[in-house]
Amino acid sequence: MVDRANDGILEERRTSIFCNSKQSGCELKCEKDSLAGSVSQRACVYCGARVVLNPITDAFHIVHGPIGCASYTWDIRGSLTSGPETFRNSFSTDLREDDIIFGGEKKLEKAIDEICAQYSPKVIFIYATCIVGVIGDDIEAVCKNAEARHGIRVIPVKSSGFAGNKSMGYKAAGKALMKLMDGPKQIKNEKEDNKNFNINFLGDFNLAGEIWITTGYLKQMGIEINARFTGDSRCEEIMKAPEASLNIVQCAGSMTSLAKEMEEKYGIPYIKVSFFGLEDIRHSLMSIAEYTKDPDIIERTEKLIFIEELKVQAELRKYSSRLEGKKAAIYVGGGFKAISLIKQFADLGIRTVMVGTQTGRKDEYDIIREIAEEGTVILDDTNPAELEKFIKEKGADILVGGVKERPLAYKLGVAFCDHNHERKHPLCGYEGAVNFAKEIDMTINSPVWRYV
């Protein structure tokens, strides 16, 4: 842990900051709730639930709370669709002072009836925000009554909570998805009679069309996609998810709890994958292929990897020659992404000097400690003051993060790469590996830094 007198770090934060050392047996404290009212880089419980469920393209979403909650998360992901655009709408009950005093259940019922009358939806998700948790509206009862009235799925998402964090929102979204799979319209699980090997793809939200890239690889391997969670997905395919042979989990932070529930309830095993960076792409594709135990699939996968890597190696070498010796700071949502980024930077000749996550788990931090260099600062659930301190102290040339971290980087005169869910260009797969290297080169070696 960090152990220096008068270094400006709050005493209660010292257990969440670690200076990497192979000799140290100290453990980083993680998987804790944020302090209510504190300045953290995390998002709220409701936001965590919304970013998981929003990309379901034909679902309707009603935010039961003040209008600010809905506007905060309107079209929150850079998700693309090959069909319906329903998910781009954002509906709210717009709770006001009178609703807080007298309750908002009647207003929610009216909102559901209005959407059913105008749009004939298949599924509606109802999000409970913080204020709903305070006033005690029974959204489960409202949803149950609405299902009986309209004959559709109306699913409550229990996402209120001041003291919670985004990872709790992920779990709330997972429980809502389980309700959708367990509903009356679910197609019975027939995977025992299904001779074809197929998978559910958990944790890709089709940012900038990324799920189309990775499913393209899987099709070349001869593997069928059963359901996507939740990029470019449809309600009906999620209802069929229990039929799959295997779950692959890319965004471990948002989908591991759901994968565990599906394994327990439906007997579907899962493996974690990452399609960021050549090493992890190679490992993930081979892990999926080897799981099938099909010699043809394994052979096709090996051929795919060889051809795709050959296409991009020359271009990646060009960028690495311009980036050799630079230093990077990483602050992203989950630990699995941080691990991939450390490897990607190493391939480009860039040293990672600071790495942190919003919702990292102990096993992920153990891997980060193993692959990070001595002296790398490792942070859990950090704040702007700590980010600024260690970026300056370690002399980072670039910060990789999300929309909340961008202003900090630019104020410090440091290059920035957006690796969050608002981005508009793909960073996964072989195409994404080149895009990532190109973006890092463009921002680190931009002539603007000569004038700062």
Domains of the chain: 11-26+324-421 (3.40.50.1980), 45-181 (3.40.50.1980), 198-305 (3.40.50.1980)
pLDDT in tens, 154-204: 999 999 876 566 678 899 999 999 999 997 644 444 444 455 789 999 999
Give the per-residue pLDDT at 300. Answer: 98
Which contacts (CB < 8 Å, 24+ apart) does range 111-118 have? Answer: 111/62, 112/62, 112/142, 112/146, 112/150, 112/154, 113/146, 113/149, 113/150, 115/60, 115/62, 115/91, 116/146, 116/150, 116/152
**SS3 state at 353:** strand
- Calculate the alpha carbon distances from 295 to 151, 286, 398 in Å: 47, 12, 43
Q: Which of 251, 248, 219 is nearest to 421 (CA)?
A: 251
Give the per-residue pLDDT at 251. Answer: 85
Return the bridge partners of 19, or none.
377
Global confidence as pTM? 0.89
Give the per-residue pLDDT at 8. Answer: 60
Residue ranges of the chain whose pLDDT lies below 50:
3-6, 185-193
Give the per-residue pLDDT at 186. Answer: 45
Give the per-residue pLDDT at 309. Answer: 97
Cβ atoms within 10 A of the Cβ of 52, count? 28
Return the bridge partners of 330, or none.
355, 400
Provide CB contacts within 8 A for 353, sequence distance 6+.
Answer: 327, 328, 329, 373, 375, 376, 377, 394, 395, 396
Give the per-residue pLDDT at 191. Answer: 47
Give the per-residue pLDDT at 362. Answer: 86
3-state helix, strand, coil in the chain (%, to 5): 50, 15, 35
Give the per-residue pLDDT at 24. Answer: 59
